[in-house]
Each structure stands twice: as C-alpha cells, then as structure tokens.
C-alpha cells in the first residue's frame, strides 16, 4: 500500500530542506516553495481522510524498525481521533503561509521553520511509537520558539523564552511516564498500540504516570494555573504564529490527554477524573472572566482559548469518569469536535485581528469605532467568527459544546456551572464588536482598507469551515464516533 501517511508527514520537511539547500532564493520564490509544499501536504492529508479510519481502530499503519533492541520503531497511523486533527493541521498551515506572503525579512528561514513545524505537528498526531511521539512533541518547541523570537513583536524575546522554558520543562514528566510504561510492558516496547490494548501500569505506578502526563499536557493545553505562558506568547507572536499556536499546538495537550492519559492509564484517570473536571471548570470560567477584562483584542482572543480548552478537558474527564459507554462517547465526541472547531474559529479570529493590526498598528479596542463602515468584509468576518466563538447555534462551537455539556450533566450535574462561561464569552465578544466595529467612524479610520486578496484567501476558507462544521458536524463526528464507540475502555 502506498505510504500516504508518511508522505503527508514528510512533504513539509522536504520543502524545508529545499529552502535550506537553495540559499539564493528570493522571498517570493521561498514563499512559492512553502505554498507548494503545504498545498501538496493538504492534498495528501485529504487522501488520508478519504481512506478513513477503518474499523474504529488504528488504520493506514506504517512501521519500520528503528532501534529493535529497545523495541523502538517508526510507527505511524491514524484513527478517528487523530485523523481530524491531521486535516486541521494541514489546513491551518496552508492558510497561515498564504497570510504570510507579505513577510519579506528572512523569508526563506521563516517559511522553512513553518514547514519544519508542520512536519513535527503532523508527527505528534500520527505517531504510534512513544519515542517517536516524544521526538516530534519536542521538535515543535524549536520551530515555534524561533518563529516568535525572530518575527514577533516588541516583547518577542521574553515571550519566546517563556514559552520554551514552560513547555520544555513541562514535557519532561511525560518522558518519565513513557519510561514507566516501557519498563512495565512485557516484552518491553514503545508501541503505543500495546499500551492502549493492555495498559501495563496499575495501582500507584499508574497514578504516578497519570500525574506526570497531566502535568505535561496541562501545560501544553494550557490549563490554569500553568497557563501563564499563553497570553504572552500569543500577544508577541506574529499573526501566522498565533494561528498555529492556538489552532495546532494547544491541541497536542488535549490530544495527549486522550491518547495517553485516557487510553493508557484508564483506571487511574477514572479515579482522578473528579479533580480534573473541577480544574477544567475553573479553568474555563477563569479564561472567560479574564478575557472580559482585556482591552487588547489579541489578548482577549488568547484568553478565550483558555476558556474553550477548558471545555475540551472537561469532556475528556467526563469520558474517563463514567462507565456508561454512550455517555463517554458523547462527551469524547464533543471534546474532539471542539478541538477542531477551536482550531478553525480561533485561527480565523487571530487572522482578522492581525489584519486589523497591520492597518491600525494598535490592538486597543478603545482606539477604534465604526470600522464596519470602512472595512465591511473585515468587520462582518470578525462578527461571524465571534458569534461562532460564543457558541451561537449553526456555527462551529455549538455542536461540540452541546455534547460536552450534555455529557457533563449526566455525570457531574454541578459541572453545569461551566455554562456560565458561554454567557461571559457572549458579553466580551459583543462588547468587542460594539466598541471596534459599530458606532460612528472616527476621522482617523476613514481611509482604512478592507481585506485584500491575500487576506481573503486565508480567512475565507476558515469562515466557510466555521459554518460548515456548525451545520454539518456529522462530517467530523462520523469519523470520530467510529473510534470512540470502539474504544474498549469506555
């Protein structure tokens, strides 16, 4: 069988190598190489999607021995949980590179880093060997660090260093957990499928491994109180970097919760689920209320990520807690769909805020007013994305959050308090819309240009997906549910 998963994984890296070994390329040529590599990767991921996750388990598996004496191998494949995230990753990287066409300063290095980061990101979602997973998980830090540090805004050095230290130190406990799984497996192996089919750790060892996993994936998600790197990183990152950080890298945290914590230490997670759920509810409400206090539009969107990712963690905790397979599948379906919808909606919000900042050179909401008159396409695009973010029916977040909340009610009735987050989110986005886009247009903004072709080509597809996921969530849920229904631990 043609190794389409590996092709999808390494096409961006091939593009990056072309840029490395052709140092004389102009900025325009570098962007062309990036778009071709990212575009072909998107097409390849579409082929992976079309082949599907057969039988609800891992499919399209490709395996080559790497270090046989240690049980390490290059193992990749997809299931209904990873497949939507692979497609989301390739879509977001492509639109981010389209939006980045205006970058001329060291464009070759910029595009090469994005392509390296794309390969690492896809690798996290398709890895079926724990060591391979960890390698890709760590490489993502390198790519994002340099993107923030070299092409970010005024405080980029501090933001990049904070991001790197938090996430590097946060990932070390995961390595210890992986070693624990390896030593407990018989025979010793790093094959993640073996850990899932027959979890090797029990009792105290399983609980310690779970705690290590939670530390790593809570930092990556991020969950309160280890979220403090996120607003700074988002604020100082270039626009395309913020899109990838929110849309792809944060999903590695919640994906890890499902793939490692939920599937490899199910009994320990079930015991810890009430505490994880409480933390998720608090994190979601905290993110919403802190976002409400922001006057910087980009920081506002950044803090709503803490809110929405809190919902995802809650869905995973509910799936871990219940022994009712239908309720577990309901909550987990919602959590995975929320990962996808958050990537799309928050990605387009960051692109729109970036387009606004490029024109006004400020993100302070109080500096604006009436921009819907001067830039109607930008304004209506933001309004649509904001309505999706606050959970309006028929838009992307609604079907995901509805399933999470319904599953929560059946397991933790008190957890319905998390719905307050939607009320607060509605208030903060309505305030932003009124302040920035409605009312009288100040004289200084009367010459504001609307979205150009480059921006429309990057923002338009995400707005279309925002609507498509809202009105036809079954397109994603049909793939996801095949796996959640087949998961033996539920």
Assigned domain for 60 exists: no
- Rounded mean pLDDT of 448-472? 94
> Can you give the residue range of the structural domain that contains 423?
268-490
pLDDT, position 446: 85
pLDDT, position 196: 93
Assigned domain for 64 exists: no
CA distances from 303 to 4, 28, 234, 254 (A): 37, 35, 9, 17
Assigned domain for 198 exists: no
More confident residue, 23 or 490: 23
The string of pLDDT tens digits covering residues 308-332 is 999 999 999 999 999 888 899 999 9
Q: 479: which DSSP letter?
A: H
> 98-109 burial by CB neighbour count: b if 16+ within 10 A, else e?
bbbbebeeebbb
Share of the chain above pLDDT 90, in %: 72
The string of pLDDT tens digits covering residues 389-427 is 998 999 999 999 999 999 999 999 888 888 898 999 999
Assigned domain for 224 exists: no
* Cβ contacts of 117 within 8 Å, gap of 6 or more: 93, 140, 143, 144, 147, 244
Q: Where are the alpha helices (DSSP H) in 127-221?
A: 130-151, 156-184, 192-197, 203-220
- Rounded mean pLDDT of 373-383? 93
Assigned domain for 458 exists: yes
Assigned domain for 303 exists: yes
For residue 111, is pLDDT > 80?
yes
Q: Tokens 């209320």 identify what position?
A: 289
Question: Phi and psi at residue 201, in whole multiples of 5°?
Answer: -100, 140
- Under the banding of pLDDT at 50, 70 and 90, the label for residue 216 is very high
Cβ atoms of residues 208 and 180 within 8 Å? yes
pLDDT, position 306: 92
Cβ atoms of residues 274 and 415 within 8 Å? no
139's tokens: 């490489």
Give the Cα separation of 458 and 257 in Å (integer).
30
Q: 418: which DSSP letter?
A: G
The string of pLDDT tens digits covering residues 57-107 is 898 899 998 888 888 899 999 999 999 999 999 999 999 999 999 998 899
pLDDT, position 490: 42
Assigned domain for 38 exists: no
pLDDT, position 235: 85
Q: Tokens 């509810």 identify what position?
A: 281
pTM score of the predicted model: 0.94
Run of H or E residues at 61: strand 59-67
Give the Cα separation of 325 and 159 in Å (integer).
42
The string of DSSP letters for 352-409 reads HHHHHHHHHS--BGGG---HHHH-HHHHHHHHHHHHHHTT-TTSTHHHHHHHHHHHHH
pLDDT, position 489: 42
Assigned domain for 82 exists: no
Number of structural domains the chain divides into: 1
339's tokens: 């990962």
């Amino acid at each position: 069988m043609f190794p389409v998963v590996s092709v999808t994984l390494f096409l961006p890296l091939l593009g990056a190598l072309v840029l490395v070994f052709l140092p004389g390329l102009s900025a325009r040529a570098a962007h062309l190489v990036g778009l071709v590599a990212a575009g072909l990767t998107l097409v390849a991921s579409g082929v992976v999607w079309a082949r599907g996750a057969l039988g609800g388990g891992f499919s399209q598996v490709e395996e080559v021995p790497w270090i046989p004496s240690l049980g390490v191998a290059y193992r990749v494949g997809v299931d209904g949980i990873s497949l939507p995230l692979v497609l989301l990753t390739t879509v977001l990287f492509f639109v981010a590179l389209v939006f980045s066409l205006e970058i001329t300063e060291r464009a070759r290095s910029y595009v090469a880093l994005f392509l390296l980061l794309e390969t690492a990101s896809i690798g996290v979602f398709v890895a079926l060997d724990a060591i391979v997973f960890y390698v890709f998980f760590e490489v993502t830090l390198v790519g994002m660090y340099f993107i923030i540090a070299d092409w970010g805004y005024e405080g980029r050095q501090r933001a990049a260093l904070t991001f790197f230290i938090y996430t590097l130190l946060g990932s070390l406990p995961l390595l210890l957990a992986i070693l624990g799984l390896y030593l407990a497996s018989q025979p010793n192996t790093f094959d993640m499928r073996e850990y899932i089919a027959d979890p090797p750790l029990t009792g105290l060892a399983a609980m310690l491994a779970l705690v290590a996993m939670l530390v790593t994936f809570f930092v990556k998600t991020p969950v309160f109180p280890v979220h403090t790197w996120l607003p700074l990183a988002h604020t100082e990152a270039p626009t395309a970097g913020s899109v990838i950080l929110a849309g792809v890298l944060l999903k590695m945290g919640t994906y890890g919760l499902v793939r490692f914590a939920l599937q490899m230490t199910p009994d320990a997670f079930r015991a810890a689920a009430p505490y994880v759920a409480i933390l998720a509810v608090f994190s979601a409400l905290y993110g919403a209320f802190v976002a409400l206090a922001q006057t910087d539009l980009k920081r506002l969107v950044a803090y709503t990520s803490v809110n929405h990712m809190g919902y995802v963690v809650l869905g995973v905790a509910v799936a871990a807690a219940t022994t009712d397979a239908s309720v577990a599948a309901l909550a987990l379906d919602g959590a995975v769909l929320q990962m996808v919808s958050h990537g799309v909606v928050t990605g387009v919000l960051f692109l729109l805020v970036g387009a606004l900042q490029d024109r006004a050179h400020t993100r302070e909401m109080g500096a604006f007013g009436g921009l819907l008159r001067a830039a109607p396409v930008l304004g209506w695009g933001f309004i649509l994305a904001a309505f999706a973010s606050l959970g309006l029916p028929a838009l992307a977040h609604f079907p995901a959050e509805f399933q999470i909340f319904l599953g929560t009610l059946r397991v933790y009735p008190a957890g319905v308090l998390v719905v307050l987050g939607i009320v607060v989110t509605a208030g903060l986005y309505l305030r932003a819309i009124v302040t920035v886009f409605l009312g009288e247009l100040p004289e200084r903004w009367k010459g504001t240009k609307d979205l150009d072709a480059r921006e429309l080509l990057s923002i338009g597809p995400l707005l279309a997906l925002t609507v498509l996921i809202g009105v036809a969530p079954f397109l994603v849920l049909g793939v996801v549910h095949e796996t959640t229904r087949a998961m033996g631990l539920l």
